[in-house]
Structure 1
Amino acid sequence: MNTYEGVQDRVPPGQRLTDGFPVLHHGSVPYYNDMSKWNLRVFGLVEEEVTFSYKQFLALPKQEFKNDIHCVTTWSKLANVWEGVAVRTIMEKVKLKPEAKYVMLHAEEGWTTNLPVEDFLAETSFLGFRHNGQLLTPEHGYPVRMVVPHLYFWKSAKWLRGIEFMPKDKPGFWERNGYHMYGDPWKEERYDFE
């Protein structure tokens, strides 16, 4: 796919294109020297909690994903190629309770972000560990980041460690600090200072 093919239809209002991959975060960047200490916990409104070690996560079926990403700070990066594990693959190991309507993504150092369960379960949502042929760098979320490409990129939590299913929506770290509860880039749902 040509990076700029149909660009006017691929860039939401108020966004500008970048060929780079800007690094934006608050606080320190976690670095891993011993991957035996990393795991991913799936919990909350599930029949049985599931925890994946790094080895178990990497053993899951992987696939390639292509998408455009849009940051709340107004940059868009087109034609990204990722390698990761589809959410539907993770969910083959999990049985949701019917009252699960929202997800809280938990990341290192207490970072969290929320989204409706339908967005988490979307065909385009995945857990990425490679971007454009390279392992994610620590600054971009190594070892695993959530990717929800149809929402602003802060919803694609870096340094993912937990997926919590909840009955009601509640704000994560960024949403408690002024970001929109949903974050649709096509509606410019950037901030919510009510």
Structure 2
Amino acid sequence: MNLYDRFRHPVERSPGFDPIPVKPRLVAVKQQAVAEGKRLTGQADPARRKRLPPGQERVTSFPVLDLGSRPLIDRNSWSITWGGLCAAPGKLDWQEFNNIGPVDKLCDIHCVTGWSRFDNRWRGILMTALLDRARPAPQATHAIFKGHDGFGTALTLTDLKQPDVLLATDWEGRPLTREHGGPVRLVVPHLYFWKSAKWVKQIWFTEGDPGGYWENRGYHHRGDPWKEERYG
């Protein structure tokens, strides 16, 4: 059993959390893309970073991608908890979370399936504000984000400290919808969008990279679009 699986079980026993089954056919499609190296161009050149990463196509819509699970979460009952290797484990309800002070950010997003959407207007809480509250331990290198849909992904603290990383509550001036991960999703613009976990409910700080649901099924552990880190 890997670190991700060992972490998964206590989270899934948290109050109010019921894992939602995925659709195996859709998982198989994504794993087939890994096997085929789909969308890889071999043209990655981080030194000549352009706005549109290699292998991507610009879209104006906002595609909805999931595995058939779209948890319905009432904002009034939503909360976020954090723990693991940090000095101050904690929990915030919806009101307490928003009292931190929302900010607005404009950014592009890039999905590993090949679409990119420019100039997205997000509103939410800076990830750095939550990190300041949690105070990760010196040995902590990563944080696992878990959602109400049962999925998780791990990111480095270095990536999470970037100034445009948000726990987003709004998109394009409106509350984040259920299909796009509302009431709260992570937004990490400089990495492929599967790293921007939907329906976030829990953060766990770790030493080392335990991976996550897709990373343990062939996706890259970091996911830099300009380096074509789709699979790894």
The reply to whether TM is greater than 0.5 is yes
Larger radius of gyration: 2
Identity %: 40
Structure 2 residue aligned with 1:17 = 58
Task: Report whether the alignment pairs 1:38 with 2:78.
Answer: yes
Question: Which residue matches 1:98?
Answer: 138
Give the whole-Å Cα distance in 1 for the aligned partners of 2:117 and 2:151: 23
Of 16, 19, 28 in structure 1, the residue corresponding to residue 69 of structure 2 is: 28
Residue 72 of structure 1 is aligned with which of 82, 100, 112? 112
Q: Is the 8 A contact 1:61 1:89 kept in 2?
A: no
8 Å CA contact 1:29, 1:138 repeated in 2 = yes
Equivalent position of 1:187 in the other structure: 227
In 2, the alpha carbon distance for the partners of 1:109 and 1:176 equals: 17
Distance 1:134 1:174 in 2: 29
1:10-49 alpha-carbon deviations (Å, 9 max, x no partner): 100000000000000113100124x343210111111121
Q: Is the 8 A contact 2:105 2:121 kept in 1?
A: yes
Return the offset for 1:88.
1.6
1:91 Cα deviation after fit: 2.2
**Which residue of structure 2 aligns with residue 138 of structure 1?**
178
**In 1, distance between residues paired with 2:221 and 2:102?**
30
Contact 1:64-1:81 at 8 Å conserved across structures? yes
Q: Which sits farther off after the overlay, 57-66 or 143-152?
A: 57-66
Structure 1's consecutive aligned runs of 4 or more residues displaced over 3 angstroms after TM superposition are none
Structure 2 match to 1:5: none
| Residue pairs, 1:81-160, within 5 angstroms | 81-160=121-200
Alignment coverage as a number of residue pairs: 184
Alignment partners' CA distance in 1, 2:100 and 2:157? 21
When the two chains are superposed, the root-mean-square deviation of aligned CA atoms in Å is 1.3
Q: TM-score, normalised by structure 1?
A: 0.91
Tell me what 2:31 maps to.
Answer: none
Offset at residue 96 of structure 1 (A)? 1.6
* Contact 1:40 1:52 survives alignment (8 Å): yes
* 1:17 maps to amino acid: R
Deviation at residue 155 of structure 1 after TM alignment: 0.3
Q: Which residue of 2 aligns with 1:162?
A: 202
Matched letter for residue 212 of structure 2: G
Give distance in 2, aligned partners of 1:181 and 1:45.
Answer: 20
Query: Which residue type is aligned with residue 22 of structure 1?
Result: P
Structure 1: unaligned runs, 5 residues or longer:
1-7
SS of 2:194's equivalent in the other structure is: helix
How many Å separate the matches in 1 of 2:76 and 2:109? 31
CA displacement 1:43-93 (0-9 Å, x = unmatched) = 111112110111111222111001000000000000111111101221232
Name the SS of the counterpart of 2:118 in structure 1: strand
1:9 is paired with a residue of what secondary structure?
Answer: coil
What letter corresponds to residue 51 of structure 1 in structure 2? K
